[in-house]
Each structure stands twice: as structure tokens, then as C-alpha cells.
Amino acid sequence: MNYHAFWPHYVQAHRRPATRLFHFAGTSGAIACIALAAAWPSAWFLIAAPLSGYGFAWASHAFIEKNRPGTFRHPVLSVIGDFHMYALMWAGRMAGEVRRLEREEKPAEGEPAS
């Protein structure tokens, strides 16, 4: 699966704003840990980075979205998707992206559902 085909599935798995907020917090924490590791070299910061990113993300999938994280089937595409979503959230455009893809999923009036 290429990223272009993966993105709509990724967005569908992150429809709830609270899920996206948890991902945003986890990714921000991971980036902060990497920055701290660069400033004060310590393996602990590098260990904390994925714990922050995945911990927040997986908790949101388990308790908010109630689905399985894409990390288990498509780890590289999921990381790319997370940073794509993170950038869209910073730009204030992720909710619009969710709505756009939801509209594309629905068949036009008078068309049969796929």
C-alpha cells in the first residue's frame, strides 16, 4: 500500500477530535524528548520519545476511538500519517480534512453505495 492510498484509512481511524488531541500531545512530547536529547545527551530522553508518541496514541485508540492502531499493520506509513496529521493540526486544517474525506466516502445522491 502506498501513502496516497493509506491516508484516507488513517484519517478514518482518527475521526474523533479527542483521538487527534492525544496524538498531538504524544507527538509533541516525542519531539520535545528528541530536542532534549540533542541538548543534553541522555539515552533516557531517546527512550521517552517513542513512549510518549505511542503511549498517547495507543491509549486514544483503545479508550476513545475504540479501534486498532495502524502501527501494527503499517508502521512506517502510520508514522508518516502521524506527522502529516500533526502538521495539519498546527495549520488548523485537520478537522476539514476529516470532513473532506467523509464527504468523499458517501456516494452522491442517486448513486449506489460501493
**DSSP 8-state symbol, 93:** -
**Smallest Cα–Cα separation from 56: which of 94, 30, 88?**
30
Q: How far is CA 68 from CA 41, 55, 72, in A?
A: 34, 14, 8
What does pTM read for this prediction? 0.86
Would residue 53 count as lying in a domain? yes
**pLDDT at position 70, please?**
87
User: Does residue 93 lie in a domain region?
Assistant: yes
Give the count of domains, the chain. Answer: 1
Q: Residue 110 falls within a domain, yes or no? A: no
Mean pLDDT by runs of 10 across the 114 residues of the chain is: 94 96 97 97 95 96 93 94 98 97 74 43
How many whole angstroms separate alpha carbon 23 and alpha carbon 56? 6
